[in-house]
Amino acid sequence: MEEYSDKLKQKFMRAALAEAMKAGDAGEVPIGAVIVQNGKIIARGKNERETKKDPAAHAEVVAIRKAGKKLDRWNLCDCDLFVTLEPCVMCSGAIIYSRIRSVYFGADDLRFGCCGTIMNLVQDQRFNHRASVEGGILKEECLEPIRGFFRDRRKEGKRKFE
Ligand SMILES: [Zn+2]
Instruction: Write out pLDDT tens, residues 134-158.
Output: 999 999 999 999 999 999 888 887 6
Per-residue model confidence as pLDDT tens digits over 25-79: 999 999 999 999 999 999 999 999 999 999 999 999 999 999 999 999 999 999 9
Calculate how far, in angstroms, residue 60's C-alpha sits from the geometric centre of ligand 1. 6
Q: Which residues does 50 contact at the CB level (< 8 Å), separation at least 6?
A: 26, 27, 28
Calculate how far, in angstroms, residue 143's C-alpha sits from the geometric centre of ligand 1. 15
Q: Which of 19, 48, 60, 86 is catalytic?
A: 60
Mean predicted confidence (pLDDT) in 99-122: 98
Calculate how far, in angstroms, residue 4's C-alpha sits from the geometric centre of ligand 1. 24
* Residue 2: pLDDT band with limits 50, 70, 90: low
Percent pLDDT > 70 in the chain is 96
The pTM for the full model equals 0.94
Query: What's the rounded Cα separation, in Å, for the pair 3 and 8?
Result: 10
Q: What's the pLDDT score for residue 151? A: 92
Q: What's the pLDDT score for residue 157? A: 78
DSSP 39: T
Q: Which residues does 150 contact at the CB level (< 8 Å), separation at least 6?
A: 161, 162
Residue 20: CB atoms within 10 A of its CB come to 29
DSSP per-residue codes, 96-145 = HHHT-SEEEEEE--TTT-TBTTS-BGGG-TTSS---EEE--TTHHHHHHH
Per-residue model confidence as pLDDT tens digits over 67-102: 999 999 999 999 999 999 999 999 999 999 999 999
Calculate how far, in angstroms, residue 87's C-alpha sits from the geometric centre of ligand 1. 5
Note if 60 is an active site residue. yes
